[in-house]
Amino acid sequence: MAYLHLLRSVRGARDADVVRFGEAGWHIRGEASFGGIVPAPAARVVALGFERGSRRKRVTVAGAIPRRLSDALGAVPSVTFAPVDAEMVRGGPAARRRYLDVTLATTSRRYLTALQAYRGGLLQRNTALRSLARGAGEAAAAAWEPLLAESGAVLWAERAAWVVRWGPELARISAAIGERGVVEMRHAMRYSAASDGVCDEAASPAELAGVLAAALEAGRAGDVRHGATRVGPHRDDLILTLGGRDMRTYGSAGQQRTAAIALRILEAGTLRLGTGAAPVLLFDDPFAELDEGRARAILDVLGGGGDTVGQVILAVPRAADIPLGLTRLERCAIADGVVRGEDGDS
């Protein structure tokens, strides 16, 4: 189900690695019904397939083939809650950047376009920088800097705007779950090789583009020595604090997991606001290592989300692991790759 949202494995596996042994490929088809604040189709059939031999991935949405694969991103909006989400809080910046990229790229075409352009330009500039180390001219690297500055400014601006928009909601959700200290987040952007800075929420994309262009030019000589671009959105971080202290360093395992779940709730809210459809919630044993009180509080927060919350799918290794708040869900069992309902039908 998450594949129909991200068009790739939620765990980061390559498409070829999820083909069943001995098979030529895989195919997923889903029919989604939508309800929301904006007009939406009563039902939408989405199909996604991958061929091992050609390594091609194809998608259709409502019977039509999108011009680009990325046009189908978020076709069936969903949010996955899993124990590994705690790495978003206690791990390195890459996990938090990926969270921002997925949340914003699936709700903002402008962000997705800028992200694709930035990644392409970054790859080309880094290739040029490695060539410079072999004696090529600096013009090869400088040629990509206007593209990086323009697209990177959009990423900076939209990330900063999202943090401003959803920061108070993160604090509210965390308090409702039971955190005593105030939970806050800030967007730290890397505009110099030596330090991070906080994006000025009032700065325009044009102003941010100027900042990034100047930073790329100033750091070019050092980038040549390192063989990589050391400033820009690909080095950003989403800083999370509890009571003013870095949660990555000082948060307990339970606090870090709670913050990660709160971030997923923000993702669901962003999808609801951006797409007009309540996302499917995919729970992959998300309450592992949480005490009963926190698990119940999280379910209460989700239950109070009104039409922000869509269908709920919960996967757990043991029936006893189902929280009381979700015992109303229809139950199925999976054995040897076959899903069977309570009546035994597959």
* Domain boundaries of the chain, sorted by first residue: 1-76, 77-341
| Predicted local distance difference test score (pLDDT) of residue 200 | 65
Beta-bridge partner residues of 242: 183, 245
Please give the Cα distance from 59 to 43 (Å, whole number). Answer: 17
Please tell me the pTM assigned to this model.
Answer: 0.87
Q: How is the chain split among helix, strand and coil, in percent rounded to 5?
A: 50, 20, 35
**One-letter amino acid identity for 111?**
Y
If one looks up domain 77-341 in CATH, what number appears? 1.20.1050.90
166 alpha carbon, distance to own chain's centre: 15
| b/e code 28-40 from CB counts within 10 Å (16+ = b) | eebebebebeeee
Between the alpha carbon of residue 37 and those of residues 104, 109, 145, 277, the distances in Å are 19, 19, 40, 7
| Predicted local distance difference test score (pLDDT) of residue 15 | 94
Q: DSSP E strands: which ranges in 193-236?
A: 197-198
Please give the Cα distance from 177 to 301 (Å, whole number). Answer: 7
Between the alpha carbon of residue 208 and those of residues 81, 189, 223, the distances in Å are 34, 11, 20
Which residue, among 233, 234, 255, 236, has the nearest Cα to 90 in the 3D structure? 255
Tokens of 218: 């100033």
| Predicted local distance difference test score (pLDDT) of residue 325 | 75
303 alpha carbon, distance to own chain's centre: 23
Which residue, among 112, 241, 260, has the nearest Cα to 188 in the 3D structure? 241
CB 225 within 8 A of CB 173: no
| Predicted local distance difference test score (pLDDT) of residue 38 | 44
In a 13 Å sphere around the CA of 193, the CA atoms on its Cβ side amount to 15
Please give the Cα distance from 85 to 258 (Å, whole number). Answer: 10
Block means of pLDDT (10 residues each) for the chain, length 346 residues? 90 91 93 61 80 92 89 89 90 95 94 97 94 75 96 95 95 90 92 67 85 93 91 95 94 89 93 87 82 80 67 84 80 87 72
| Predicted local distance difference test score (pLDDT) of residue 166 | 96
| Beta strands 43-51 and 56-61, pairing class | antiparallel
Please give the Cα distance from 152 to 10 (Å, whole number). Answer: 25
